[in-house]
Amino acid sequence: MNGKKNYHRKYFRTPFSAAYWEQAFSELKNTRALVFAALILALRIAMKPLKIPIAADVNITFGFIFNALGSMVYGPVVALLSGAVSDTLGYLIAPSGAYFFPFIFLEMGGSLIFALFLYSTDITPVRLILAKFCVNMFINILLNEPIMVLYYRDVLHLTTYQPFVLVRIVKNIVMLPIESVILMIVFRAAIPALGRTEFRVAGKTELDYTKRHIALLCILFVIGAAAVTGYVIYDYNNKSFSADYSATERLNKNREMNAWVLKEKTDLKADETVTIIESARSRAFQKEMTYELAIYRIDRDQYEKKHAEAEKAIAEGKEGAKAYTEDTLNGYSKSKAAKDDTLIRIGSATAITDKNTGEHLSMEITMSWNEESKP
């Protein structure tokens, strides 16, 4: 298909015909379609790093907008190739982690679905919503999860990635109404604009909104806002704030809790006791922060041995040598404290503070040492 024929793309109700795919393959010879694909490719790569955070690990991105617009113009065959190039060039220009070839199928799959719904047909709000739903369901969830399992196993050599975890599925469901609204607004402006350029499309030259569509747009926006709000509250209620502590914050917080424990349990010795925050949780709209604490006794023989070894390694200039001090012990996270045999667990505690003022409200301590480990 040459440049002039670009104005006369055939209209199809569905992609299930030989003529549809003949036209889709002919786009590979259409100079204007290829130029538009190059423009879209550049925009997709440029927009990949950009995002607007709206909740924990939930972001509004912009690449899907250009992917949908491009797929509408140049069809499924060019869309597949564009997706493959987008993944490869995107990694080469802004690498993130190790390259893993199967990720290419995510980009290609999303482009293909948008093209099957939007190429050479009438664009309606319902088609846009269904297209984004299929991308979120079949690509972001059903295809992405097994690929991530393979990535963790074969590249990172880890088995910690669990597929089809409810939280990750919820994120895609939460974003669907918001992304659908964005597509409807963008396509409303883009389709008439494309109709006045050389990159014309088959079907209607504008995205018509009936009263029902406007009502649907409003409903989607409300659902999206409610879903995001619900997810934010859910995430807030279930997250441990201690996971986000910096090293300095963790050290200071652990020392604060240790001083509180020593105040409550006067039979414990200050120079032999370490308290580690295992979790810090608070429910939305409540003023209390609840800390789960682990109380440890320092094995002085082990400590002196490791301290001396660390000092020697530092003096000899060994690569990766680090100091091993009481600050090291007091700055541990839950997992590091549990693995260090210098620390002997002797009890646990639940502490409650005012999350706004930091005021200490209450603490319950349960000691579990035996005679051999009693300080």
pLDDT tens profile 53-100: 776 667 788 889 999 999 999 999 999 999 999 988 888 887 777 788
Give Rg (Cα) of the chain: 29
Whether residue 297 contacts residue 273, with contact meaning beta carbons closer than 8 Å, is answered with yes
- Angstrom CA distances, 204 to 10, 123, 195, 255, stand at 12, 7, 9, 67
Whether residue 294 contacts residue 257, with contact meaning beta carbons closer than 8 Å, is answered with no
Residue 304 has what pLDDT?
Answer: 94
CA distance linking residue 94 with residue 106, whole number of Å: 17
Residue 191 has what pLDDT?
Answer: 85
CA distance linking residue 269 with residue 287, whole number of Å: 32
CA distance linking residue 78 with residue 39, whole number of Å: 13
Q: Helix or strand or coil: residue 29?
A: helix
Look at residues 126, 228, 214 and name the one whose alpha carbon lies nearest to residue 175.
Answer: 228
CA distance linking residue 286 with residue 33, whole number of Å: 56
Q: Which of 114-128, 132-146, 208-222 has the lowest mean pLDDT?
A: 208-222
CA distance linking residue 360 with residue 189, whole number of Å: 56
Residue 65 has what pLDDT?
Answer: 93
Q: Which H helix or E strand runs over 280?
A: strand 273-281
Token couple for 303: 């400590």
CA distance linking residue 2 with residue 371, whole number of Å: 89
pLDDT tens profile 325-373: 999 999 999 999 999 999 999 999 999 999 889 999 999 999 986 544 4
CA distance linking residue 339 with residue 353, whole number of Å: 28
Residue 203 has what pLDDT?
Answer: 66
Mean pLDDT on 169-193: 85
Is residue 374 scored above 50 in pLDDT?
A: no
Whether residue 174 contacts residue 58, with contact meaning beta carbons closer than 8 Å, is answered with yes
Instruction: Label residue 204 by pLDDT band (50, 70, 90).
Output: low
